[in-house]
Structure 1
Amino acid sequence: MVSKIITAGADNLSRCNIIIVHIWYYTLHRREGDCYYKRMYFESRAQAGRLLAAQVVDKYRYENCAVVALTEGGVLVGEQIAAQLHCVLMMLVTESIDVPGENLSFGAVSQRGNFTYNSEFSTGEIQEYTSEFHGYLDDQKREAYSRINRLIGDGGTIDDRMLKDRVVFLVSDALADGAALSVAFDFLKPIRIERLVVATPIATVSVVDQLHVTADELHVLDVKENYLGVNHYYSDNTVPTRKEAIQKISQIILNWR
């Protein structure tokens, strides 16, 4: 794959000094305000979060923001962004449901109990899987919602009132497919927000394609054509338990910088 280095313009230097792009992709799709910084591996999720925070702090430091982590690993990334922006940090609790016998997410259940299909499936594929695995999928949805209800009792999850009229950052430690994002977008539909920003250290090409349509702004440190699993890209793969993640969320104000 041929790549070239493009030096960012003066207005973008504070957020992203070097943008490395695949010519065939980014010359067609990159929008003003989107930022891609090529970095193959990271020491930790916290380090990746600090790099993302540096991209957004000048623009959003004095805006009314909220950071929503999509996973426990995303809490470590989002913690750094929330600390710099002096804003709330929350976590969207979801339970993914996989296609039987395949390492593929069919969709996920959110803490409202809604099931959202993986947006990367076509209508025909959804109908085929639903017909073939109807009973299994219904059972998995019920079990997933039950697990979510038990987890929500620990606190630290999303409060709709804290998102209204804010710039909302959706943050993950990696976005391999559109499943988690589809649930997040569905969850945010009834909430009036000011702007939707997606920030992640790592995303696949297909996810970035989707986000150019659904998000107002993207901050991606490394776009992958061949994704090898989230842990491959971090030297330190210490990820908090659910309880530890919630503790970090509750203490975010103490870490404001």
Structure 2
Amino acid sequence: MRFPHRREAGQDLALRLREAASGGDLPRPVVLALPRGGVPVAAEVARALGAPLDVLVVRKIGAPGRPEAGVGALAGEDPPLFDRRTLGLLDLDEADLAADVARERAELRRRTLRYRGERPAPDVRDRTVILVDDGLATGVTARAALRHLRRQAPARLILAVPVGAPETVAALRPEADDVLCLSQPPDFGAVGLWYDDFGQVTDEEVIALLDAHRPPAGER
């Protein structure tokens, strides 16, 4: 399955989630997107479910000299979550990554302030939380996000993505109450290969979508 763009992928994902909602399985939903790419997908889900939309900023920690190789991730103010196996294979320990962690923590805080301003994060306790991204490759950022959210005691925690590597989807199932992935191609390769248009999402687009789906005060 290929998707023309993130918005249509979000519509397909929303259709599946609406089917679940019609059975009363999604009480008090709140949709959280992993920015930036997950926001256009999540906006369609939030629109279909009539749910509030917000972001959970997570930052990948890359290997020294190889930022594309994720060895860990940061979510909120939680301690970094490292992939111990990958650290071992690269002969690294946490101390080797201290500067990278500090840099990514600063960027996480900057982006959170940029996207949300002074608004508090939504209270997800006893709610159905639907965490959305545009795809799953290594899953390192999604894992950090799910663990961050689980500590906040949601009633149900769902990870929803249009496409993902089969082994990553399987590895993340224990982290959520449900993982919905529309397509798990065996020749996955990379998320962008499964979109006709996978252009970069800008901060301005993220902010505009969040503003368009902001609930009235007191209804978060």
Question: If the length of structure 2 is used for normalisation, what is the TM-score?
Answer: 0.85
- 1: CA distance, partners of 2:201 / 2:139: 23
Query: Which moves more between the two structures, 43-52 or 95-104?
Result: 95-104
Does residue 116 of the first structure (1) align with residue 81 of the second (2)?
A: yes
CA contact (8 A) 2:129 2:154 kept: yes
**Alignment partner for residue 97 of structure 1, among 61, 71, 94?**
61
Q: Write out per-residue CA displacement over residues 98-120 of structure 1, whole angstroms, 9 at most, x where no aligned residue.
A: 113444201112231531113xx
* 1:130 equivalenced with 2:90 (yes/no): no
1:1-257 matches, cutoff 5 A: 39=1, 41-60=2-21, 63-102=27-66, 103-112=68-77, 114-118=79-83, 121-122=84-85, 125=88, 128-130=91-93, 134-135=95-96, 137-156=97-116, 159-252=120-213
Gapped regions of structure 1 (runs ≥ 5)? 1-38
Amino acid at match of 1:110: A
Q: Do the aligned partners of 2:71 and 2:86 also contact (CA within 8 Å) in 1?
A: no
Confirm or deny: 8 A CA contact 1:154 1:243 kept in the other structure: no
The 2-side partners of 1:248 and 1:239 are apart by 15
- The two structures, once aligned, show a CA RMSD in angstroms of 2.4
The alpha-carbon deviation at position 130 of structure 1 amounts to 0.6
- Indicate the percent of aligned positions where both proteins have the same amino acid: 25
* Distance (whole Å) between structure 1 residues aligned to residue 140 and residue 61 of structure 2: 10
Structure 2, unaligned runs of 5 or more: 216-220
Give the TM-score of the pair, scaled to structure 1.
0.73
Equivalent pair of 2:59/2:141 in contact (CA under 8 Å): no
CA distance in 1, matches of 2:53, 2:89: 33
The SS at the match of 1:129 is coil
CA distance in 1, matches of 2:89, 2:109: 26
Partner Cα separation in structure 1 for residue 89 and residue 32 of structure 2: 28
Q: Counterpart amino acid of 1:143?
A: R
Look up the SS of the partner of 1:219 in the other structure.
Answer: strand
Partner secondary structure for residue 43 of structure 2 = helix
**Do the aligned residues in 2 keep the contact of 1:156 with 1:250 (CA within 8 Å)?**
no
- Larger Rg computed on CA atoms: 1
Aligned-partner Cα distance in 1 for 2:8–2:122 = 30
Structure 1 residue 190 displacement after superposition: 2.5
Provide, for residues 192-238 of structure 1, a one-character-per-residue CA deviation record: whole Å limited to 9, x for no partner: 10111111111111212113322212221111333222222111223
Partner of 2:218: none
> What one-letter code is carried by the residue in structure 1 that aligns with 2:92?
Y
Query: For residue 151 of structure 1, what is the amino acid of its counterpart?
Result: R
CA contact (8 A) 2:72 2:80 kept: yes
Q: Distance in 2 between matches of 1:167 and 1:60?
A: 11
